[in-house]
Structure formats: C-alpha cells, structure tokens
Chains A and B, each alone.
Chain A
Amino acid sequence: MRRSLRVLQLQETPAASAVVALVVVFSIASAHFRTVSNINDLLLTSLFVLFVAIGMTFVLTAGGIDLSVGSVMGLGGAITGLLLEHGAGTTLALAGGLMSGVVVGLLNGLVITRLKLADFMVTLASLSIVQGIVEMMTANQPINYSGNALGNLSGATVGPVSVAVIYAVVITVIMAFILRFTSFGRAIFAVGMNPRAARLSGINVEATRVLAYVVSGFMAALAGVFLASYLSTVQALQGSGYELEAIAAAVIGGTSLLGGKGSVWGAALGALLLGTLQNGLVLASLSGYWFDVVEGAVIVAAVALGGGLQVLRTIAIPVESRRARAAG
C-alpha cells in the first residue's frame, strides 16, 4: 500500500505511464513500429529535444525560462562545422561549438541577474540576436557536415543501437545526477522555490541562476551539433521551434514553470513521449499537422494529470503520516 503511494508521489509517473501506454498502443497498431530499427530511429530523433529539455529543466527549476535555445542550437552546429571546415581537430571543433553555447548562456544569465531584467524578455532578445549572427555565418553557403569527422554520428552503431543514443543515455544520467545529488543542483531548487530564503541560507542566488543558463546554453549547443550531424548541414533556422518543444517536454515530465520543481528524468520521458507520438503518427500516415494538435493536447493532459496527482498526494500523505505516527 505504502509503496504504491510512493509511486504516486513521483512527478515522473504521468509521463512514464503515458510513454508506456503509447508504445503499447503503437506496437499493437503497427508491426513496423516495434522493429528495432524504428525504435532506434525514434530514439535518435528524440535526442535533440531531449538535450535542450534537460538544459531547460535546470533553468525552469531555478525559476527562469530560456527562449534562446533554438538559435543556440544553430550557433553550436555552425561554429563546430566552420572549425572543422577550417581544419581544426574534432575535439577543438566540438569544444568551440559547445563553448559558444556556454558564452550565450553566460551572457543571458549575467544580463538577467545584473540588470535585473525579465528572463523571458532577455532570452527572447538573445534568440533574435543569435539567430542573426548564425544567419550571417551561414548566409553564403550552408555549412556542410557530410564529409567531416562528426558527419556520421547517427550512422555509427553498436549492435543495433546508434552510438549517439548511447551518448545521450550517458549525458542524461550525468545531468540527472547533477540536478539531484550535488550542492549546485540543490541550490537550483532552493533558488527557484524561494530566492529570499535561499539568500538568507547563504546560497549565492545570482551565481546559481547564471550557471543554470550556462547549462542550458551548453546543452542547446550540444543538441545543435547532434542535429547538424544528423541533417548533414547547418542552416540558421534549423533549431527554431525547439525552445517550445523543450519547454513542453520538461513540463510533461513534471517540471514547474514557477520554479522549485523539476526532474531530468521527467524531461527525458517528456522528450521520449513527444518523439514516440511523432513517430507513431507518421506510421499511422497522419499528416504532420496532426502532431501539433496532439502535442498540444498531451501538454494539457500532462499538466492536468500532474495537478490531479498533486491532489491525490495531498490526501494520501497525511494518511501515511498518521499511520507512521500511530506506528511510532
């Protein structure tokens, strides 16, 4: 009894149940869906949202929001691609691309905390600024990844699984660990939940928020490199729209837009849910427009379900407490 209540308390439960339900339904409906290559494909196409959503989870949990990630994806992909074109080694090129995301995140965070401006407005502005910069970089010729060292990330496999998927799992585990089990992660929650109490507890509120944006910038740039590799090219607009997908994935996973509540695993499940949905609807040969409609419905359902579970928890926990008190 008590164990089942514990499961209810997990904020990832709604997203996880939804993913399982969808996989079951699509597997029954389509023989092609349950093939290994399709599942691998599904995972591969979910990676980009996944990475951005993980970074977004850090920012949302700290009480902010990062709208610049779509442009940062383009920037990360473009800079890495350009460095490779000019003969830089893979490591240097990758570091350069990721560093560009870190710099944008740092600037976002510093402008927000130093000038005390609204997160939404600042990152909306940098979405536009960074997009302009990437457009300048790619104006004359789209940057081509097909011949370069990072061009075949999605093609390389270990057994049936793409190497990129393995990377993604490792990165998700690391980021989940950082948010959940480190002093930095704890500070993110504290700052998002109650910044005044956090400050009086000796937490550096500004630095924590800046670092959350740095994580988001880094993850967006990483997603950008993977996306460029997958598409074999970089265009300025190829990351556009990802900011909303990422926010959707995070929220589906139980992260609160009000701060103080968030989970990397939840974001991963949210990304997976959106990916599964897209994949399944394509197999059901519904038009892409349907995906947008269904995605919206899923977001509402996830938030409503989260609220419903919250109510259940509030009822369940006091019962549990009373029982514990009676036992003790």
Chain B
Amino acid sequence: MKPVDKPIVEVRGVSKRFPGVPALDDVSFDIRAGEVLALVGENGAGKSTLVKILSGVYRPDSGSVVLRGKVVSLHDPHQAQALGITTVYQETTLVPGFTPVQNIFLGRELRQGPFLDEHLMKKKARSLLREFDTDESILDMPVEGIGALRQKVVEVLKGLAFEAALVILDEPTAPLTDREREALFGHIRRLKERDVAVLLVTHRLEELLEIADRAIVLRDGRYVGSVEPRETGIRQLVQMMVGRDVESVVPFDAGGADMAGGADELLRVEGLTREGVLKDIAFSVRSGEILGVAGLAGSGRTELVRVLVGADKADTGAIMKAGRKLRLKSPKDAIQNGLALAPEERKVQGVFQTFSVAKNVSAAGLRHVLKFRFFINERAESRLARDYVSRLSIRTPSVSQEMRLLSGGNQQKVLIARYLVANAEVLILDEPTQGIDVGAKSDIYGLIQEHVRAGGAAIVVSSELDDLIRLSNRVLVMREGRIAGEIEGTRGRQLKMEEHRLLDEDVLHLAAGVAE
C-alpha cells in the first residue's frame, strides 16, 4: 500500500452556509490517486454538504476545488462527472426496468448516425463487468431483479464508463449484507489498483480498518483532523467525532434521575420479532421514565417504534400495557390504548400541510371535540388548540393559520400537541429534533420532560446522541435489528464533560459493533 503522493483532488478552504447555519467552515484536505479516503463525522457534521460540493450539486460560498492541479468550478453533476468526479449516491439512481447497459449509458447513449449503437455499448459494459468480476448474464436483465450488490456495482460502473479520477461512495454498504460488503471492498481495491481515488462516506467505523488508507473527520462543519485508522484504531476516531465543548440544549431535569424509581411499569415488550428487521426485542418502560433509543440508520430503530404503535405488524412477540397484552392492528388501536408515535420525516408522515393548526392539533383526538360522536364543535376545537399553542409556546399568529406556514420547530410542537391531545400516556417520538433550530430543540426536550413528570412515559429515537443521553434515564442501543446493549442515561444527573464523552463513545461502539 503506497499511495502515489501527488494529490489528485485538493479541497481548499471551502465554506458553505445555509440560512442561519454554517454547514461547512473553511475545510481543506487532499485526496491522492490510488487512495481510499474515508470521510467520517456525526450527523450534521457536514459530510453530505461536502459530497454535494464535490459532485457539483452545491457551489461553495468560498474556497475552491483543485483537480489535477487546476482550479475547477463545479456547477452541475454532469459537468463534475465529465471532469472525472463520479458520485455514487446513497439512494439508487437506476431506472428499475432498464438493463444495466441501458442504465450505464443513460443520457449519454453511444450512437451510430441517428441510431443507438447497442452493440458497442454492450461491448463496453461487458468489458467493465469483466474487470469487476461480475457475472455477464445480468447485462440483459432489468436491474430491479439483480440484487442490491450488483445494483451497487452497476451504479459504480455508471460512473466508470467514463474515466473517473475520483469516485465518491456515499454510504455504499448500507443496503448490503456482510458478504456483499466484502465483494464491494474487492471492487474498491481494484479501483485503487487503477490509481483511481476513492472518497468513502460511512457510518460503520469498523469498515475503515478494513478498507481505508486514511480518514478525515468533520465536526460541526469544521475539519478536525486526519488519521490512519489502522494505526490509531477506532477509539481516537470516535473521540475526534464527538469531542465538543458546547453546553447541552437539553434542559437540566432536577430529580429526573429518580422519577421512575418505584413507579409502575407502563409498557413491556417481549420477544418482538419482525422478519428481516427486528429480532427478539425486549424492554420495559416505567411511568415517569424517558427511554432513549440509539442506533445507526437502518439499525431497526424506526422499525421498532412503528411496530410499537401497530403501524407495522410484528411476526411474534408481545406488547403489554399495564400488564395487559395489546392487539394492535393499526395506529388507531394503539392510540386507543394510550400509545402514539410522532413519526420521523415530519413533512411526509406527520403534517397536514393545508389544514389549520387547530385541525392538526385535533387530528388524533377529534373525539374530544365531537358532539354526538359525529359532529365537530369547531369552537371547542379552536379552544383546545389555543390552549396547547400557549402551553407549548407554539409561534403562530392564530390557530387558523395553515400548518405549512409554520417553521419546522413549531410544526414539530404541533405534532407533539396532537399526540398529547390523544392522551398518549406512552409518547413515542422518532427523530423529534430533526432539522429544527436550537431553541426549538430545547423546548421540545422540555415538553418531553414535562410529559413524563405528569406520569406518562416517553420513548425517544434520536441520532443526536449527546442530547439523547442527557435526556434519557436509559438508552437502548440497536444494531442490525437487535438491542445491542443498554447505557445508563444522565437525566437529572450532573456529569463532567469527560464522563459524557465516554458515554457517547460507549453508545457509538455498541451501535457500530466494535469490540472494546
């Protein structure tokens, strides 16, 4: 392993701001030919912004990208690709019904006169496939039927059909099984041999030991440093990722540590299994308790909470509320039993955009404002909404304002109000602070604390690890559909920054599956 020392891509002082938040702040680094460089950092550290700048989706506010010694201006993905920077995105960009050949040459088909030169395209694709040791028989099959790995391979080939100097792989292993991952790494090594540089974005730190020559760490949009994972090990990398000195946005919840001490068990889950996504999940939650759920994307966190409210079905296992086994056919049953989920992807799954705030608040608890169980008492509905708008300090000119005109943080508060109105004793929140500003985050953590102080319980799924540990009494860490372990949260306890950092690391280790 001796990367050629001349950098093929140099990133020079790149900054990018989005309204209100700096996403990247003066980031500089090099990538050398034949090098596999890993890009790591927590969610929101700026990895995807950086990838989008290199692939021509975003333009930096300042700074420059130097390719083979020349400053280039990357202004759209096609042009970046023509210059030799190919990006394989996390989400597939293949057309499902097209064959690999059709996909690889999509939008830049080879022609002979006015006609497609099918023969030449197929010949080129075949030689590429051979280079990647992939079965040629897939060339004539629609890609929807060839499996996740070969789809990934086709995505990579799509980039390679035209000479690439740098291949960016954004979370390429997320959909793959262990064996497929190994095969992909084989492909990456072959790219290395051809002196192609590879920038690998990944959450699975253990992969770095195997494949990365070097890793650079981003934190809060800043470049923290560069390490050789095989030399330093994962621990130092993790420290670089999480080490930050900001005050927590989680309000300190005095007495919160003992809240659940002798309290009654509200919810108990045993042996919960859903083929392919959840395996043998068991835990319980007491009244007054906040249970955190951590894990990487795809670890089963979201799948778990969806099963808890009957949005998806479990194959086996039991969900018990106050000792009684629940039969949940739909979220409707869950709400009637005091369990409700404020889902992730607020816009897609939560918000009724053109309903008023009042209608959004009452959506899950309409029965409280009905006359004769059928007729809506609009005056009562408005009163109810006004009550929650003031209690949760939701910023809206009136409860008749359309929901789409509220900010993300206020929309999230309205959703919490919706499930409080529904009398959800066990309030489940999936990524409640996604994409909202610091002030609103703090408010929402406060609302969760208030809810459990009043005798309820909360299950909170979040990628904001530090916040989650400070908010929760206990944190379950999920990995590959199982509970990988449990960490004590620090709700209501004063810990030193250093102790917090250790807890963060413990969770990350469990989530990534790295042995101590």
Residues of A within 8 A of B (CB): 181-184, 186, 189-190, 193-194, 196-204, 260-261, 317-318, 320-321, 324-325, 328
Question: Contact at A197–B349, with CB atoms within 8 Å?
Answer: yes
Known: A181-B378, A261-B354. A199 touches B311 (CB 8 A): yes
A residues in contact with B375, CB < 8 Å = 181-183
Question: Contact at A202–B401, with CB atoms within 8 Å?
Answer: no
**Candidates A184, A194, A203, A320; contact of B332 at CB < 8 Å:** A203
Question: Contact at B397–A321, with CB atoms within 8 Å?
Answer: yes
**Candidates B331, B352, B376, B418; contact of A193 at CB < 8 Å:** B352
B residues in contact with A324, CB < 8 Å = 397-398
Interface centre among A189, A194, A196, by most B CB within 10 Å?
Answer: A194
Interface string of B317-344 (1 = CB under 8 A from A): 0000000000000111011100011010
B residues in contact with A181, CB < 8 Å = 375-376, 378
Residue on A nearest B372 in the bound complex, by CB: A182
Residue on A nearest B402 in the bound complex, by CB: A317
Known: A184-B374, A324-B398. A200 touches B309 (CB 8 A): yes
Nearest chain B CB to A134's CB is how many angstroms away? 34
A residues in contact with B330, CB < 8 Å = 199, 202, 204
Residue on A nearest B346 in the bound complex, by CB: A197
Complex CA–CA separation, A193 to B363 (angstroms): 12
B364 at the interface (CB under 8 A from A): yes
B454 at the interface (CB under 8 A from A): no
29 pairs of residues in contact across A and B, judged by CB atoms under 8 Å? A182-B375, A182-B376, A183-B370, A183-B374, A183-B375, A183-B376, A184-B374, A193-B353, A193-B355, A194-B348, A196-B343, A196-B348, A197-B350, A197-B352, A198-B363, A199-B330, A200-B311, A200-B340, A201-B331, A201-B363, A201-B422, A202-B330, A202-B332, A202-B340, A203-B363, A318-B405, A321-B397, A321-B405, A324-B397
B351 at the interface (CB under 8 A from A): yes
**Candidates B309, B376, B401, B422; contact of A186 at CB < 8 Å:** B376
Question: Contact at B336–A202, with CB atoms within 8 Å?
Answer: yes
B366 at the interface (CB under 8 A from A): yes
Question: Contact at A196–B332, with CB atoms within 8 Å?
Answer: no
A residues in contact with B309, CB < 8 Å = 200
Residue on B nearest A325 in the bound complex, by CB: B397
Complex CA–CA separation, A200 to B311 (angstroms): 7
B residues in contact with A318, CB < 8 Å = 405
Interface residues on B, range: 35 or more
Residue on A nearest B376 in the bound complex, by CB: A181
Residue on A nearest B335 in the bound complex, by CB: A202
Question: Contact at B350–A200, with CB atoms within 8 Å?
Answer: yes
Question: Contact at B376–A200, with CB atoms within 8 Å?
Answer: no
Nearest chain B CB to A179's CB is how many angstroms away? 11
Question: Contact at B376–A194, with CB atoms within 8 Å?
Answer: no
Complex CA–CA separation, A190 to B402 (angstroms): 14
Nearest chain A CB to B390's CB is how many angstroms away? 12
Residue on B nearest A261 in the bound complex, by CB: B354
Complex CA–CA separation, A199 to B355 (angstroms): 16
Question: Contact at B402–A193, with CB atoms within 8 Å?
Answer: no
B residues in contact with A202, CB < 8 Å = 330-332, 334-336, 340, 364, 422
Interface centre among A189, A190, A202, A325, by most B CB within 10 Å?
Answer: A202
Interface string of B115-148 (1 = CB under 8 A from A): 0000000000000000000000000000000000
Question: Contact at A190–B405, with CB atoms within 8 Å?
Answer: no
Question: Contact at A189–B374, with CB atoms within 8 Å?
Answer: no
**Candidates A190, A198, A200, A317; contact of B341 at CB < 8 Å:** A200
Known: A200-B350, A202-B331, A204-B330. A190 touches B363 (CB 8 A): yes
Complex CA–CA separation, A34 to B233 (angstroms): 90
Nearest chain A CB to B303's CB is how many angstroms away? 15
Complex CA–CA separation, A320 to B398 (angstroms): 11
Nearest chain B CB to A240's CB is how many angstroms away? 34
Residue on B nearest A327 in the bound complex, by CB: B397
Question: Contact at A193–B374, with CB atoms within 8 Å?
Answer: no
Known: A200-B350, A202-B336. A183 touches B331 (CB 8 A): no
B59 at the interface (CB under 8 A from A): no
A residues in contact with B367, CB < 8 Å = 183
A residues in contact with B311, CB < 8 Å = 199-200
Complex CA–CA separation, A199 to B348 (angstroms): 12
A residues in contact with B402, CB < 8 Å = 317
**Candidates A189, A317, A320, A325; contact of B355 at CB < 8 Å:** A189
Question: Contact at B366–A183, with CB atoms within 8 Å?
Answer: yes
Nearest chain A CB to B306's CB is how many angstroms away? 9
Question: Contact at B332–A204, with CB atoms within 8 Å?
Answer: yes
